[in-house]
Structure 1
């Protein structure tokens, strides 16, 4: 059976840490807890579970802290966890079985299902999706990106049936948006993955002010020859949203054409619907909201291709005095569910 090092980075997690470690104490062979500046009982709680606790001066990068935690590990595999995660008894048993089975397999990385993703305005579009969680230590995996950090995988990966429940107790949206702005100010290159996440986070939790503060970055991005079509479309959606806020028709036309000349996105159709609704043209607004809901697919925020667009159609019909149509679309919106990504 393989041995497993638990590696975590924490700060002021006294309310959640014990619950997390209770789930893991019989699954892992070593606990590495890297603290980035707690002022509560976090370190004391970690030590009560026999964890090796290390202090790490915060650099502004989650990847730096995670890489440091991995450097302290000594077991065969490393399990990366956050304090707001739990594993129930059924999945603890799956984890134990995995530890036995993996010995006979040439596996470097194991993915597990991350569940309850849509709580507290997380940046993710699906409630259950696979994430790499268990890593063979000798491969020396390195975390990348200062926020929404990830490990680049170029090795043998397998998918498990282990499910991890994410239990966020606070909305990190504003913290994350501030971190994006800080990284840009400090000259950090925003990778394709982070470009997508910045745009997604704006759409999901951003205020009008957040969009305005992002305007310069996405204006530069949309003109950057190093960005691919996906990133240009993401930037176009963000900039079109800003143009709708400002009521600038020429800019809405400019950015919508960058999206609509390829495969149109739900987000851009939604923005056009909002523009026409603001202008008082409810019939045209319904056309574009309908396109967002039924004729296109989202690239950033799945809700703009679903319940949000349907609610807007209902609101337009209600303003037009067509209460029957409004009720139909309102009912459809209220019963809309996030589609299964599989």
Structure 2
């Protein structure tokens, strides 16, 4: 049977930490808590479960904090947990079975992360596989009978264990501050982080968040080394941000660029919003229809689903076309988020 170090990074988690650690009792041989600056009772609660509590000065870098936590682990495998998640009885049983039978060559175990849409900030679906259990020390293996080489890719096992995400609130404000801090330092966001920043804006950002992001996404547009996808994400952010700022020239400038190649649902929807605010419901309906049926979303699946359907219903109600409005009212009632 493998041994497990449970590692968490925490800050002001007094409302959920005990719930998380109670659900993990018996799974790990040690619990490592890294506190990044709590001002509540988080550390006192942690002391009831472990004496391995470490302080880590927050530097706007989650990876740095997690790497520090992992450096304190001593067991065969490391389970990376968050304070706002739990494992229920059925999945606890599955986890304990994995612990008994896991083959030595497995280096990462992925688990299904569920309930993501509750206070979600970056996801368009409720469940996804995430790497959660990691072999602490990797064994390098030679492979191939001739022209031998070292196996570079980790051995990954996709388990059927479900981790339930149960946050008490939305963390987007914290995330936006971290993005801005990284940008201010002059660090270059990877393509993945550009996409995550844009997704988080479209899923949970407000007008202030979009305004704060405009300068950065203008730089993305002007960066010749950025990929086509990054440019698309940036155009979406700029279109919505400039509309919210009532900067019509720059709003249309970025919308035109966004529809010149392959229109996306987000920009079509923003054009609909522009005309909707002018009470030009016929023109607005054209763009909402394109958002819902003639394009695909880059960042937020709602922009192809319930958002434009609701607006289409409202446009046709305003135009006095009750029959068409009823069609979209029915479509709206039948729409649901993908799993």
**Other-structure match for 2:164:** 165
Q: Distance in 2 between matches of 1:81 and 1:315?
A: 44
Task: Quote the residue 1:19 is aligned against.
Answer: 19
Name the CA distance, whole Å, in 1 between partners of 2:10 and 2:242: 39
1:124 aligns with 123
8 A Cα contact 2:221 2:234, kept in partner = yes
Contact 1:2 1:103 in 2 (8 A): no
Whether the 8 Å CA contact 2:11–2:38 is kept in 1: the answer is yes
Question: If the length of structure 1 is used for normalisation, what is the TM-score?
Answer: 0.90
Aligned partners of 2:137, 2:252: CA distance in 1, in Å? 53
Aligned to 2:214: 215
**1:43 matched residue in structure 2:** 43
Moved more, 324-333 or 164-173: 324-333
Show the counterpart of 1:275.
274
Distance in 1, Cα, partners of 2:261 & 2:158: 34
Task: Calculate the aligned-residue CA RMSD, in Å.
Answer: 1.8
2:99 maps to what in 1? 99
Q: Answer with 1 or 2: which has the greater Rg.
A: 2
Q: Which residue of 2 aligns with 1:237?
A: 236
What is the CA-CA distance between 1:91 and the residue it aligns to?
Answer: 0.5
CA contact (8 A) 1:244 1:252 kept: yes
Q: Which moved more, 1:82-91 or 1:14-23?
A: 14-23
**Partner residue of 1:148?**
none
Q: Which deviations, in whole Å up to 9, do the C-alpha atoms of 1:231-250 show, x marking residues without a partner? A: 00000011111232344554
- What SS class does the counterpart of residue 118 from structure 1 fall into? coil
Equivalent position of 1:189 in the other structure: 188
Gaps of 5+ in 2: 140-151
Distance 1:296 1:98 in 2: 43
Report if the CA contact (8 A) 2:115-2:126 is conserved: yes
Q: In 2, distance between residues paired with 1:59 and 1:126? A: 30
Q: Secondary structure at the match of 2:102?
A: helix
Matches within 5 A, 1:302-317: 302-317=301-316
For structure 1, the 5+ residue unaligned runs are 141-152
Report the Cα distance in structure 1 between the residues aligned to 2:59 and 2:13, rounded to whole angstroms. 19
Supply the distance in 2 between the matched residues of 1:177 and 1:237 (Cα, whole angstroms): 17
Does the 8 Å CA contact 1:46/1:53 hold for their aligned counterparts? yes
1:301 aligns to 2:270 (yes or no): no
C-alpha offsets along residues 139-162 of structure 1, whole Å, 9 cap, x if unaligned? 39xxxxxxxxxxxx9422221100
- Could you say which residue in structure 1 is the equivalent of 2:3? 3
Task: Give distance in 2, aligned partners of 1:122 and 1:209.
Answer: 16
- Residue 28 of structure 1 aligns to a residue whose secondary structure is coil
Instruction: Tell me which residue corresponds to 1:69.
Output: 69
Label 1:51 to 1:289 Cα distance change in 2 as closer, same or farther (>3 A): farther
Distance in 2, Cα, partners of 1:244 & 1:35: 40
**Counterpart Cα distance in 1 of 2:69 and 2:276:** 51
Contact 2:77 2:135 in 1 (8 A): yes
Q: CA offsets, 1:152-201, max 9 Å, x none? A: x9422221100000001011112211221121112121111111111111
Inter-partner Cα distance in structure 2 for 1:121 and 1:160: 23
In structure 2, what is the equivalent of residue 28 of structure 1? 28
Match of 2:334 in 1: 335
Q: CA deviation at 1:320?
A: 1.1
Aligned equivalents of 1:44, 1:209: Cα separation in 2: 36
Do the aligned partners of 1:30 and 1:51 also contact (CA within 8 Å) in 2?
no
Count of equivalent residues: 327
Alpha carbons of structure 1 residues 284 and 83: separation in structure 2 relative to 1, 3 Å: same
The change in CA–CA distance for 1:305 and 1:51 in structure 2 (over 3 A counts) is farther
8 Å contact from structure 1 (residues 174, 205) kept in 2 = no
Give the TM-score normalised by the residue count of structure 2: 0.91
3-state SS of paired residue (1:333): helix
Distance 2:81 2:315 in 1: 45
In structure 2, the partner of 1:147 is: none
